[in-house]
Amino acid sequence: MAINLINNELALICPDPVIGINRDGIITLFNPAAEQLLGYPREEMVGRFQIAELYSSPESAREIKRLMYQTDHGPKGQLIGHKTHLQSRSGELIPIQLSATLIEKHGKEIGSIGFFRDLTERLALERSLKLLSVTDSLTGLYNQRHFHTVLNQEIARSKRYSHPLSLVCIDLDNFKSVNDTLGHVEGDLALRYVGEAINGILRNSDYGFRYGGDEFMVLLPETPQQSTHALTLRLIDYFARHMPSNLVELAQVGNPVALSIGIAEYKDDEPAGVFIKRTDLAMYQAKKQPGSLAVLAE
């Protein structure tokens, strides 16, 4: 009787998916919002479908049942704000937040009812905000703050597994002439172009960063120094073949815009700051060849 009353009330007024089950785990309530979220019609679910079949795995279903009888997430017999996944009729795993309570009649458990909140949009927004926080808005590369985070992570991984790790420092030569001759708007376009060139040659495992001003870093996990040369040559080729017309015109009047590139491979137990400095020094050695697309390994 209690479950029937809850069924009628919630089916009419609750905007979130609500699913009720009896003591055997058979679904007794499946409101319109649950139909919309999971793609199952109510008639197919009520009295026929086991709730465990909606979860991503049997282990996930057992975990929820176990937590209902503990006090880690609320009073005994209740589960508040548990994050898990439901599987839709099409097989899609949908991230949800579940709050549930046991239902008793005359002191005896007769079932439970759960309120499900779809987290898809929220998680997408969180991912978007996180990406914005680590991305340079001008070039689309990662920013300097994220560079230091990723560098420390990759150094730790390199040391743990004794795998190679290389770092590439890239500087845009004669960038001042772009700003002075063409203006800062064109200067920003030039920096965007470098970002585009770097993104154009990165492998899935690589990271590209705008380190500051007209200086960029590329981090190459699982890559020894000698293998890095091939990537930098692709970058040089891309930069030359796709160079915007305004930069080509600058070169024609004696202000060639070029790349200076320094490469270093991580050494055992080397502090991150020393690794960066060695790569930076290699780049400045390359700058001694003005107007060229030089690569110098340190």
Long-range contacts of 249-252 (CB under 8 A, 24+ apart): 250/174, 250/177, 250/178, 250/181, 250/182
| Residue 3 contacts residue 29 (beta carbons within 8 Å) | yes
Cα end-to-end span (Å), the chain: 79
Owner of token pair 């920003």: 188
- Read off the tokens for 242: 């796709």
The question of whether 214 is a catalytic residue gets the answer yes
The residue annotated as part of the active site, out of 136, 171, 214, 280, is 214
Give the separation between CA 5 and CA 23, rounded to whole angstroms: 17
Tell me the DSSP string of 76-137. TTEEEEEEEEEE-TTS-EEEEEEEEEEEEETTEEEEEEEEEEE-HHHHHHHHHHHHHHTB-T
CA angle 118, 123, 124 (to 5 degrees): 110
List alpha helices for the chain, DSSP H: 2-13, 32-38, 42-45, 58-68, 120-133, 144-161, 175-182, 184-201, 225-241, 245-252, 272-286
124, 125, 129, 130: CA torsion to nearest 10: -30
Catalytic residues: 214
